[in-house]
Amino acid sequence: MSDAAATETQRLLTLFTDAGAAEIKTDILQPAETLLDIYGEDIRARAYVTADPLRGEMMLRPDFTVPIVQAHMAGGVDPARYAYAGKIFRKQELDDTRPIEYEQVGYEVFASDDPAQADAEVFALFAGAFDGLPVRAATGDLGILTAAVRGLKTSDARKSALMRHIWRPRRFLSLLKRFGSDAVPSAKRAAMLAADDPFAALSDVGVRSRAEVQARLDRLRDDAQTPPISTRELELIDAILSLRETAPHVLSALRDIALDLPPISAAVDTLARRLDALAARGIDVDALQFEGSFGRTTLEYYDGFVFGFSATHRPDLPPIATGGRYDALTSVLGRGRAIPAVGGAIRAELVAEIRVPS
């Protein structure tokens, strides 16, 4: 780590501890099973995994949030604030110029009293950390999209499939198209589902058992009998994903969408409270950017407010900072006990890189 990056790391860590956070340490080697359960097998392609004879499969720390949530759920108080600094490790399969290990400095808040205020606290603290630096902020809210999916007039199986792929935009749109009124099954699939004995047309079922294949066929047959998602509902989902404006304009548009899609109303009210809390902390919400699809290609545990900061003059750089709300993650790691939580991480070496010498 360069001297400039070390200086930024210490500055940011001090900023967070001065805000009331307790500094927390986590092990560099983490149990892989837990991380794979949370992130999914997709993380394996970018993680450094090893085997320990006594502890089983282990992984070089790809992120801080999961071990911090585990530590908090094992005995933390409410509210609690944590700060951390240390290296994370990610393989870079497509760009060998990007680092495989880099310093993260982060701030996490666990508080059940007012999530909108906690969201505003974290975002405002990060914005203050970049005061005078050439960065731009973007925000989003995955809670609005998930509420829209849960509110669709379709089967639970279809909604579950869409929820699983919210963080995979192409697959999500492919599923929407398949479940929509314009979807036409392939001739091969239609013939297989209509056959009295679909196995007669299958020369090989691969590694799956006959029972597994039959269960899959039964699900496909059930889905084939499910009425398509209406064109109007698909248009409303598309309208949410296409939003890209300043936050007040987005709020107004979402109010209109909620008239036709009432299940998103509570999430839209949460956005309104968050904007009020941000304004009270000095954030210029009239200029704050909001994107309906923001945060869908980051880590999969975010389920509400999401944000990021990028360099205005360096489009070649990855985001300087990212963060968001991850309430559901605390329930998973707390074995049913949950607490609202929000946080974010900053890449100190990128802050040092974009800082203009005084």
Q: Encode the chain in three state secondary structure.
A: CCHHHHHHHHHHHHHHHHCCCEECCCCCEEEHHHHHHHHCHHHHHHCCEEEECCCEEEEECCCCHHHHHHHHHCCCCCCEEEEEEEEEECCCCCCCCCCCEEEEEEEEEECCCCHHHHHHHHHHHHHHHCCCCCEEEEEEEHHHHHHHHHCCCCCHHHHHHHHHCCCCHHHHHHHHHHHECCCCCCHHHHHHHHCCCHHHHCCCCCCCCHHHHHHHHHHHHHHHCCCCECHHHHHHHHHHHHCEEEHHHHHHHHHHHHHHCHHHHHHHHHHHHHHHHHHHCCCCHHHCEEECCCCCCCCCCCCCEEEEEEECCCCCCCCCEEEEECHHHHHHHCCCCCCCEEEEEEEHHHHHHHCCCC
pLDDT at 248: 97
pLDDT at 141: 96
pTM summary value: 0.85
pLDDT means over runs of 10, the chain (358 residues): 89 97 92 74 71 83 89 88 92 69 92 94 97 95 96 93 89 90 58 57 58 65 76 95 96 97 96 98 97 81 93 91 93 85 95 78
CATH class held by domain 3-148+235-354: alpha beta
pLDDT at 55: 82
Residue ranges per structural domain of the chain:
3-148+235-354, 155-229
pLDDT at 199: 57
